[in-house]
């Protein structure tokens, strides 16, 4: 059961071989046993979870079950969930209990799924290692001395350690794909606008996108079927016909054109990661794909562009946390200005403060044109590179992360080195494209390596087909950390 796919669990529930209550209790027991060491979850509410499971069992008994009915999922603690504490990994929201559901949460509730709990994350999704959370560092199940990646590190660790059937994450610059790679699981960032951001606490609104994290591409497809859809409450939500993302999973890959950007295989890529990615490309050749050499010349500028645009948007979005309406308020202050200052100083962590200051600076009078406007222009050039590339290939592949998981504390004193962890993923967010990471082997230290697959706009079904066919031919995605 611990290694069952979502499709298998759904079949077992429908056949009454197991009940949702039993399955939910099984995962709650595992969480109670393993989470104190891993710190993957921030908030649990067994009574609420089991109540949802009982409702799912009643629904199944009436023959009204759907693909995910009764299956326990974890939710990244960036999604508001009614009656649940929603912290975004920050002291600022330590005691905040949401009065409403995010669109993603509503979609899972409507499908009859069970919410196991809220997973740990970098504070306000700002980080690449899950070390900035106010609630403590998350540990990688493959090596407890290593980071799980970020910001969706709690989700990645929970899925890898089998502390849930699957889970949700969000991706602003690689925060689904990079932790998926470092923890040996599969994760997908959809095309911007495919999944509603309503009720998802904002970091950088033009980049943030929710997506599924699971052990296989097949599981991701089933989850995306539930998560995707138009939501009028989100002005960036795209009004498109509903589609079945699992429809193409079984198609052969004969004739698939894979683009390999030369910029992704140069300096900075560790040899063991490069070797595992090369082996994956060779496997795709055996499956009938052809390789095309492409270039994304402006991708080298994605890091500086991102760290102008994302902090600028964060500075604006986080201005609402002022100690007045909700969130942390300082216990002692003299006047209103001091209340703002002390509440924000106490409520935000160092990385969040750093990005707010950078964002405020680049938006300030005299610097807007020099930094923010110029970054927006380069963002357009980065997106155009992808448009040109897709004239010659169907999907783009490369490493998800330049290295395997690094040790906890290794990059904490060097923000730039930390930012470079997302060097291969950020361009995808800047262009608004869909991207995913799947396990493709292991590095010299025995830690997982991720293969990144990037598709054209709204090409998630093809990407999932490409990933699924690889996973039918390999077993990297079914391996579990030792002792799990």
Query: pLDDT (tens digit, 0 to 9) for every residue of the chain, 484 residues total?
Result: 889 999 999 999 999 999 999 999 999 999 999 999 999 999 999 999 999 999 999 999 999 999 999 999 999 999 999 999 999 999 999 999 999 999 999 999 999 999 999 999 999 999 999 999 999 999 999 999 999 999 999 999 999 999 999 999 999 999 999 999 999 999 999 999 999 999 999 999 999 999 999 999 999 999 999 999 999 999 999 999 999 999 999 999 999 999 999 999 988 999 999 999 999 999 999 999 999 999 999 999 999 999 999 999 999 999 999 999 889 999 999 999 999 999 999 999 999 999 999 999 999 988 899 999 999 999 999 999 999 999 999 999 999 999 999 999 998 778 878 888 899 999 999 999 999 999 999 999 999 999 999 999 999 999 999 999 999 999 999 999 998 8
Does an H or E element contain 186, and which? strand 186-189
Q: What letter does residue 459 receive in the DSSP assignment?
A: -
Comparing CA positions, the residue from 151, 95, 97 lying closest to residue 123 is 151
Contacts of 243 (CB under 8 A, 6+ apart): 228, 461
Q: Say which CATH topology domain 6-254 has.
A: Amidase signature (AS) enzymes (3.90.1300)
The strand pairing partners of 119, in sequence order, are 41, 76
Span 11-38, pLDDT tens digits: 999 999 999 999 999 999 999 999 999 9
Give the burial string for 152-169 (b: 16+ CB within 10 Å, else e).
bbbbbbbbbbbbbbbbbb
Cis, bond preceding 27 (omega within 30 deg of 0)? no
- CA 117, CA 153: separation in Å to the nearest integer? 15
Contact 212, 166 (CB under 8 A): yes
Q: In what order do the strands lie in the sheet with 257-261?
A: 41-44, 114-119, 72-76, 166-171, 209-214, 186-189, 435-442, 448-455, 395-399, 257-261, 290-294
Residues classed as catalytic: 76, 151, 175
Whether the full predicted model's pTM is greater than 0.75, yes or no, is: yes
**Domain range summary for the chain, segments of one domain joined by +:** 6-254
The two three-digit tokens of residue 161, written as one number: 């350690």
Phi and psi at residue 170, to the nearest 5°: -135, 155
Cα–Cα distance for residue pair 318/327, rounded to 1 Å: 11
Distance in angstroms (rounded) separating the CA atoms of residues 78 and 416: 25
Residue 184 C-beta-side C-alpha neighbours within 13 Å: 22
């Amino acid at each position: 059961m611990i290694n069952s796919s979502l499709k298998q669990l759904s079949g077992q529930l429908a056949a009454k071989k197991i009940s949702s209550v039993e399955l939910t209790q099984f995962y709650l027991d595992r969480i109670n046993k393993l989470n104190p060491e891993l710190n993957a979850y921030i908030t649990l509410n067994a009574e609420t979870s089991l109540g949802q499971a009982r409702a799912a069992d009643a629904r199944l008994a009436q023959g009204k079950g759907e693909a995910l009915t009764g299956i326990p999922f974890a939710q990244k603690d960036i999604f508001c969930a009614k009656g649940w504490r929603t912290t975004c990994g920050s002291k600022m929201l330590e005691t905040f209990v949401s009065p409403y559901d995010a669109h993603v949460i509503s979609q899972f509730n409507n499908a009859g799924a069970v919410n196991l709990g809220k997973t740990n994350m970098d504070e306000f999704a700002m980080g690449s290692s899950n070390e900035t959370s106010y609630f403590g560092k998350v540990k990688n199940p493959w090596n407890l001395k290593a980071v799980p990646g970020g910001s969706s590190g709690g989700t990645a660790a929970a899925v890898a350690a089998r502390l849930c059937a699957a889970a949700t994450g969000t991706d602003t610059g690689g925060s689904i794909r990079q932790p998926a790679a470092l923890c040996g699981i599969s994760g997908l960032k959809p095309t911007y606008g495919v999944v509603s951001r309503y009720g998802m606490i904002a970091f950088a609104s033009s980049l943030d996108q929710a997506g599924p994290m699971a052990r296989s591409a097949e599981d991701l497809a089933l989850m995306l079927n539930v998560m995707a859809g138009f939501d009028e409450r989100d002005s960036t939500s795209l009004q498109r016909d509903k589609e079945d993302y699992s429809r193409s999973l079984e198609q052969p890959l004969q004739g698939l054109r894979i683009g390999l950007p030369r910029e992704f295989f140069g300096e900075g890529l560790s040899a063991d990661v490069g070797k595992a990615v090369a082996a994956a490309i060779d496997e795709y050749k055996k499956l009938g794909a052809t390789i095309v050499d492409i270039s994304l010349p402006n991708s080298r500028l994605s890091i500086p562009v991102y760290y102008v645009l994302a902090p600028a948007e964060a500075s604006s979005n986080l201005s609402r946390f002022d100690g007045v309406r909700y969130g942390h308020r300082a216990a002692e202050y003299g006047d209103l200005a001091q209340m703002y200052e002390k509440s924000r100083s106490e409520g935000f962590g160092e990385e969040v403060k750093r990005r707010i200051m950078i964002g405020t600076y680049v938006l300030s009078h005299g610097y807007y044109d020099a930094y923010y406007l110029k970054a927006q222009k380069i963002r357009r050039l980065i997106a155009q590179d992808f448009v040109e590339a897709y004239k010659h290939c169907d999907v783009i592949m490369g490493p998800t992360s330049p290295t395997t998981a690094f040790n906890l504390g290794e990059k904490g004193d060097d923000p730039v080195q930390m930012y470079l962890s997302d060097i291969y993923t950020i361009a995808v967010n800047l262009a608004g494209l869909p991207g995913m990471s799947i396990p493709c082997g292991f590095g010299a230290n025995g830690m997982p390596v991720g293969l990144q697959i990037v598709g054209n706009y709204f090409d998630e079904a093809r990407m999932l087909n490409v990933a699924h066919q690889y996973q039918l031919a390999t077993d990297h995605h079914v391996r579990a950390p030792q002792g799990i």
